[in-house]
Amino acid sequence: MDYINDYFDGHRNDPNARFLSFDICHNYFLSHKGVASRPKNINESVMTLWGYLSSWGMLRGRGALKNKNPYYLKGTIEVIDKYGDLFDVDLTDYPKKSGLLVKCYDDLESCMTIEGTTKKDSTIPSLLLITKTMFGVFSCIPAIDVNVGKYFNENKIGSLRTIHNAIETFGSFYESHKDLLKPRLIATTDWNGLPYERRFNSVRLLDMYAYSKGQSK
């Protein structure tokens, strides 16, 4: 499909392409389901998530990760270990799993928040950072970045202002675009330059679609 080609932007078989940061992160946490925060894994876990988030711009600007080191994410890894069921959640599951998505979001928001004596000393994670984390780890909700938001806002498709709004909007969009977002296998190259067949669930495809369409406007 055109939007898939647009997303890869000619780098489908580039072992150094940025989009592979998602696969490195997601595959790592899937293979360490429930044990990522154990002492023997925590170093690799925080660095894997930190690498993915930095690759996708989360260290820029005034975000929560500014002036932090990777171990700021230690509590995040501990929360991730509690939500292994989210690895199996796709858009088709939203009617039954919305509560689980919200609970994970709230727990991540809580553990990422640092209350300082002043606003300058406080760390408040954004909707973008939390959904970017949930996307890269579980692939259970699209990351609500500028391009995804632009696509939905300019086409007047629901609201992405809160996690509750986003779940409703993404779920509704899926119901009317099931063929477009049907999970599929896509042949690419991995980070070692070897053939790599990747399974894209509906969440991943929606993220790609909205990101590509928003970026092109």
**Distance between CA atoms of 118 and 120, rounded to whole angstroms?**
5
- pLDDT surpasses 80 at 13: no
For tokens 């640092």, the residue is: 114
Q: 27-76 pLDDT, tens per residue?
A: 999 999 999 999 999 999 999 999 999 999 999 877 889 889 999 999 99
Domain boundaries, position 25 = 2-216
**pLDDT above 90 for 5:** no
Rounded percentage of the chain residues whose pLDDT exceeds 70: 96
pLDDT of residue 8: 75
By percentage, how much of the chain surpasses pLDDT 90?
73
pLDDT, tens only, 101-110 = 999 999 999 9
Q: Mean pLDDT throughout 127-133?
A: 97
pTM above 0.85, yes or no: yes
3: pLDDT strictly greater than 80: no
Looking at the structure of the chain, the number of domains it has is 1
Each residue of 148-178: pLDDT tens digit?
Answer: 999 999 999 999 999 999 999 999 999 999 9
CB 141 within 8 A of CB 90: no
Give the chain as a DSSP string: -HHHHHHHTT-TT-TT-TTHHHHHHHHHHHHTTTTTTSTTTHHHHHHHHHHHHHHTTTTSTT-TTTT--GGGGHHHHHHHTT-GGGGG--GGGHHHHHHHHHHHHHHHHHHH-B--SSTTT-B---HHHHHHHHHHHH--S----HHHHHHHHHTT-S--SSHHHHHHHHHHHHHT-TTTT--EEEEEE-TTS-EEEEEE-HHHHHHHHHHHHHHH-
Encoded amino acid at 145, one letter: D
Distance CA 26, CA 198 (A): 12
pLDDT score of 89 more than 80: yes
Average pLDDT, the chain: 92
Predicted local distance difference test score (pLDDT) of residue 1: 58
In the numeric block, which tokens belong to residue 184? Answer: 């599929």
Q: For residue 137, name the pLDDT band (cuts at 50, 70, 90).
A: very high
